[in-house]
Amino acid sequence: MANLSTKYMGLTLNNPIIVGSSGLTKTVTDMKNAEKNGAGAIVMKSLFEEQIMLDTAYQIKQAENDKMIYFNHSETLDYLDYHLREKELSNYLNQIEEARSKLMIPVIASVHCVTPGEWIHFASRIQEAGANALELNIAILPYSAKENCMDIESHYIDIIKKVKKEVSIPISVKLSPYFSNLVYFANALHQTEVASLVLFNRFFSPDIDIEDFEVISTNLYSSPAEMAHTLRWVAILSDQVKFDLAASTGIHDGETVIKMLLAGAKAVQVNSAIYKYGYKHINTMLETLENWMDRKGFNYVDQFIGKMSHYKANDPSAYERIQFMRYYSEIGL
């Protein structure tokens, strides 16, 4: 029987399937459910500084509109945002502590900040609370011409370096796919001593309601077809970076788990498939992995991780190809 354990970010996982940061890991009960159904680790739902700011602003507005609470010009009201922020942060930290006390699998906290100083503050508190590792959800969508790509990349590196200076637990960075040269940027991350990259962050998807002229959301869940983008970059990067990679987006079945590992990922993060099929789907994927390993004669996952990376694949050009050309169609590609 195959041994599915793997080492990811210095953490020992029973298997490479991680339930990613989402509503599936919002409560400790959810996390226990994921563990019970075979998850190798969980990434807690992200602590969003922006959400805290919005909630805080809302509560302060409520307080200001309530005649009975914190009269105008109250010094408590003046600094209420600190108090409310601390309450929200404390809730998250308490959850980390509870999760660590109740789960056997690694608990990876996740944080997204908009204020530069807050990354460090949240990260150090998260470490104190006992998280096994920290995933920095540094999602930056370059929708403005004000910052060029170098500025944005410097911003990432700056955040990671500052956080790394303050915490000793392993740090992973969840990246968006929007980089001019992802390989260049990933290599630049070596200076930050990051423990892993998660490829990729899947953003909220916009759509237009043409009847009501509204911008709405769509495609809440990923589709299996989205795996290709992740697969390409895992394969390309795994030969060129020293840190671990986790594949995320489009991983809906055990076969795709295997593909990502073959490409070079040490672990995969799964969400949409679990939303669709339930936590029990983790076990289904693990069975596929295990059966495949048995058939192929692999006793350990390390025996085949990266076996089909960019450099090691029989035809690496398949990863590099981006155009549909007749040459390739004629030779059956």
Q: Which one of 65-73, 102-110, 234-242, 263-271 is the stretch in contact with another protein (CB under 8 A)? A: 65-73
* Residue 128 binds to another protein (criterion: CB under 8 A): no
Nearer to another protein, 90 or 180 (CB): 90
Q: Does the protein bind another protein through residue 51 (CB under 8 A)? A: no
Task: Give dist(CA 240, CA 314) in Å, integer.
Answer: 18
Are 200 and 175 a contacting pair, CB within 8 Å? Answer: yes
Q: Is residue 70 part of the contact set for another protein (CB under 8 A)?
A: yes
Interaction of residue 57 with another protein, rule CB under 8 A: yes
68: contact with another protein by CB under 8 A: yes
The footprint of another protein on residues 157-196 (CB under 8 A) is none
Which residue in the set 117, 145, 150, 314 belongs to the binding site for another protein (CB under 8 A)?
Answer: 117
Residue 245 β-bridge partners: 197
Which of 56, 272 has the CB closer to another protein?
A: 56
Does 97 sit near another protein (CB under 8 A)? Answer: no
- Residue 155 found at the interface with another protein (CB under 8 A): no
Q: How far is the CB of 53 from another protein (least distance, A)?
A: 9
Site size for another protein, by CB under 8 A? Answer: 31
Nearer to another protein, 62 or 219 (CB): 62
Closest to another protein by CB, 8 vs 156, is 156
Nearer to another protein by Cβ, of 80 and 227: the residue is 80
Angle separating helix axes 80-102 and 49-65, nearest 10 degrees: 130
- Segment contacting another protein (CB under 8 A): 60-68, 95-103, 104-112, 218-226? 60-68
User: What is the SS3 string spanning the chain?
Assistant: CCECCEEECCEEECCCEEECCCHHHCCHHHHHHHHHCCCCEEECCCEEHHHHHHHHHHHHHHHHHCCCCCCCCCHHHHCHHHHHHHHHHHHHHHHHHHHHHHCCCCEEEEEECCCHHHHHHHHHHHHHHCCCEEEECCCCCCCCCCCCHHHHHHHHHHHHHHHHHHCCCCEEEEECCCCCCHHHHHHHHHHHCCCEEEECCCCCEEEEECCCCEEEEECCCCCHHHHHHHHHHHHHHHCCCCCEEEEECCCCCHHHHHHHHHHCCCEEEECHHHHHHCCHHHHHHHHHHHHHHHHHCCCEHHHCCCCCCCCCCCCCHHHHCCCCCHHHHHCCC
Q: Does 313 bind another protein (CB under 8 A)?
A: no
Does 76 bind another protein (CB under 8 A)? Our answer is yes
Stretch that binds another protein, among 32-40, 121-129, 142-150, 201-209 (CB under 8 A): 121-129
**Quick check: 142 and 203 in contact, CB under 8 A?**
no
275 touches another protein by CB under 8 A:
no
Tokens of 278: 């339930």
How many Cα atoms are found within 13 Å in the side-chain-facing hemisphere of 11?
Answer: 30
Segment interacting with another protein (CB under 8 A) among 7-15, 26-34, 82-90, 239-247: 82-90
Task: Give the residue, chosen from 1, 29, 72, 242, that forms a contact with another protein under the rule CB under 8 A.
Answer: 72
116 part of the interface to another protein, by CB under 8 A:
yes
Query: Of residues 5, 27, 32, 69, which one binds another protein by CB under 8 A?
Result: 69
Token readout for 27 is 């409560």
- 151 near another protein, judged by CB under 8 A: no
- Taking CB under 8 A as the criterion, the residue among 5, 27, 63, 142 binding another protein is 63
Residues of this chain that interact with another protein (CB under 8 A) are 57-61, 63-64, 67-80, 82-83, 86, 89, 115-117, 121, 124-125
